[in-house]
Structure 1
Amino acid sequence: MPTTAPRLIRSIRLLDAAEARIASEFTAPPPPQSPLATDALLALAHEYQPTAMLVTHMTPLRATDIAALPECVKLVATVSVGLDHLDLAALHARGITVSNTPDVLTDCNADLSMMLILAASRRAAEYFTLVKTGWTRPLGLGDMLGHRVTGKRLGIVGMGRIGQAVARRARGFDMEILYHNRSRLPPEHEAGATYYAQLEDMLPQCDILTLHAPAQSSGAPLMDERTLSLLPRGAVLVNAARGKLVDESALMNALRSGHLAGAGLDVYQTEPNPNPELVAMPNVFTTPHTGSATVETRTAMCMLALDNVAALAAGRPLPSRVTP
């Protein structure tokens, strides 16, 4: 291995194809057997003196952690789109470049969102439980009826890459697309969707609401008792974006009262230990934060993170640099 190969450390073992690339193109210690805590990653950085660090949301870097990094670290490459686990201001203040992995996970996140929409609307969690625990009699004509997705009004909060990809899939179900975004999209990107500048104006029109926005800077939930009450009775809520977007106590109340017919959730306020009362509700379909969890997408995320390390070492523009 040439001594000029870029030096890196990672907080977690990457997928096999990416690990093979590290062995071929980079100088790195063996991959960790389990995800490293932040203090263990900092200790490894001082021991190994890398130019770049690859991290995920499981290893947050806050201001005090960043202040403790050795001077050799020039890049923090997160194998994620989200940046909530990084103090960007502190990293940039130290002159450390940051990269993430957008675009490559758009389709898989949109696929999962459609799965949540279908599963929550068609009572998939209840059907699964019934068959697994003992389906002993035929269902009557009016038993365990879900709601049709085809032709419904789908409200999308956050019409970025993933929101637009969900809209494309929903059009295959002849759904009417409504959306709320910080700004209106150009007509060619709207593709006939109806824009609402105010979320409160859109919510009463939504049969199904799906969230694809970042967490609010205030930390307050976007969907709380007030905003949930604006949805029509019998609506479905889907969240595959950020757990902080939803007040889970208010959500449970809306589900118990029947104001909401169901919910499809991939993210939660507390992970990896979501509220057991919430996930046990029969009309909640749950997945464990797996929007990007396919071989193809996770491999592409790892490779894009390594592309950023290689570009930094070669003095080229980074393919997915996060600007201050």
Structure 2
Amino acid sequence: MSKPQVLIAANPKNGIVWSKEEQASKLGAVAEVLELTSSSREEFYKDLASGGKYANIVGIYRHNDSASAIGVFDKDLIEHLPSSVKYIAHNGAGYDQIDIAAATAKNIQVSHTPGAVDAATATVGAFLAISAMRQFARAEQNVRNGKWKTGLSPARDPEEKTLGIIGMGGIGKALARRLIAFDMKVIYHNRNEITPPPDFPCKYIANVDDLLKQSDIVSLNLPLNEKTKGSFGKKQFDLMKDGSVLVNTARGAVVDEEALLAALDSGKLFSAGLDVFPDEPNVNPKLLSNDKITVLPHMGTETRDSQKKMELLVLDNLISALSGKGLLNQVPEQKK
């Protein structure tokens, strides 16, 4: 009996990089694996149509870099998928490039990779927090440009400051554990208090406004969706402590960039650390020219160790689903 077909929707030059052996031995044992060769959305639609090379696929391994060839998995693309498609296994904790409502309407189950990204993203968040507090990015540019300490003013110590985490999921917890080592007090806001409580000292704050008023560093660790897009703006910055710090490793579109720049220019914020931007790889030039901001090019999971963990988790989701056991990490919206 023929095996079900699975499409690896990734940049053909990359595909599955760190788990080739597992792709061949484990996924290959339960599925016929096809590689994405479509170079445009129009060509992809033809390949999906009856008689096309992807007309009978059951599962899709999706990587964000496939967007450079076929675009994001919006409603239009999902509606073009053949009825044979039952699973989209996404490589990434964030899945805002997939229209979950459209997938659900078509009875397509979607998974992502929570857990696999926690450590690497939290390390980036910790770096951004410390760099922003100590102004290490500005200092590095000084020494590279032969200016030594010219124009540098005394920064702030992270010790005994309050870290406010908005979105205490796996990444938030990993970040808290890292910054507790700097003698920080941790408070957090989720829709609901975590039970049982985390295995480190922290306090739940039911009202996000209260968290903003108490925090020296605010870390954004929440998903991007219609409710969170642009949700962190002037009102939130006005509530923050004078001289506080914002760290964003979530999604760039969560933050109103003009409000952030205004808060930095006024001195309301001491500094900021950003790993994500609304229109990546394009970055607002005003952010780049502002030396109060530490910027990184979305380095959250740019380690071979984390990328392999993510790849393996995507493969495990597909293998589990094709074996009749369901997806291991189905997105929360489809579990309601």
- Whole-Å separation in 2 of the counterparts to 1:112 and 1:292: 9
Does the CA contact (< 8 Å) of 2:18 and 2:307 recur in 1?
A: no
Q: Per the alignment, do residues 271 and 303 of structure 1 end up closer, same or farther by CA in structure 2, a change over 3 Å counting?
A: same
The secondary structure found in structure 2 opposite 1:134 is: coil
Does the CA contact (< 8 Å) of 1:159 and 1:180 recur in 2?
A: yes
- Whole-Å separation in 2 of the counterparts to 1:279 and 1:143: 18
Compute the TM-score of the two structures, normalised by the length of structure 2: 0.87
Q: Per the alignment, do residues 186 and 22 of structure 1 end up closer, same or farther by CA in structure 2, a change over 3 Å counting?
A: closer
Residue 144 of structure 1: how far off its partner (Å): 3.1
- 1:1-324 aligned within 5 A: 3-4=2-3, 6-12=5-11, 13-24=14-25, 25=28, 26-30=31-35, 38-46=41-49, 47-49=52-54, 50-58=57-65, 59=67, 60-135=72-147, 139=149, 143-186=152-195, 188-189=197-198, 191-215=200-224, 217-218=226-227, 220-322=229-331, 323-324=334-335
The secondary structure found in structure 2 opposite 1:51 is: strand
Residue 37 of structure 1: how far off its partner (Å): 5.3
CA RMSD of aligned residues (A): 2.3
Residue 18 of structure 1: how far off its partner (Å): 2.4
Residue 55 of structure 1: how far off its partner (Å): 1.5
- Whole-Å separation in 2 of the counterparts to 1:20 and 1:45: 27
Does the CA contact (< 8 Å) of 1:11 and 1:41 recur in 2?
A: no
Q: Per the alignment, do residues 212 and 188 of structure 1 end up closer, same or farther by CA in structure 2, a change over 3 Å counting?
A: same
- Whole-Å separation in 2 of the counterparts to 1:37 and 1:251: 36
Residue 21 of structure 1: how far off its partner (Å): 3.3
Q: Percent identity?
A: 32
Q: Per the alignment, do residues 289 and 42 of structure 1 end up closer, same or farther by CA in structure 2, a change over 3 Å counting?
A: farther
Q: Per the alignment, do residues 77 and 235 of structure 1 end up closer, same or farther by CA in structure 2, a change over 3 Å counting?
A: same
Does the CA contact (< 8 Å) of 2:91 and 2:113 recur in 1?
A: yes
Does the CA contact (< 8 Å) of 2:7 and 2:35 recur in 1?
A: no
- Whole-Å separation in 2 of the counterparts to 1:308 and 1:187: 27
Compute the TM-score of the two structures, normalised by the length of structure 1: 0.90
Name the amino acid aligned to 2:7: L
Would you say how many aligned residue pairs link Structure 1 and Structure 2?
A: 318
Mind listing any 5+ residue stretches in structure 2 that lack a counterpart?
Answer: none
The secondary structure found in structure 2 opposite 1:129 is: helix
Does the CA contact (< 8 Å) of 1:52 and 1:75 recur in 2?
A: yes
Does the CA contact (< 8 Å) of 1:6 and 1:310 recur in 2?
A: no
Does the CA contact (< 8 Å) of 1:55 and 1:79 recur in 2?
A: yes
- Whole-Å separation in 1 of the counterparts to 2:117 and 2:229: 26
Name the amino acid aligned to 1:301: M
Question: Could you give the per-residue CA deviations for residues 174-221 of structure 1, whole angstroms, max 9, x where no partner exists?
Answer: 101111111112353274312211111121211111111123533542
Does the CA contact (< 8 Å) of 1:6 and 1:313 recur in 2?
A: no
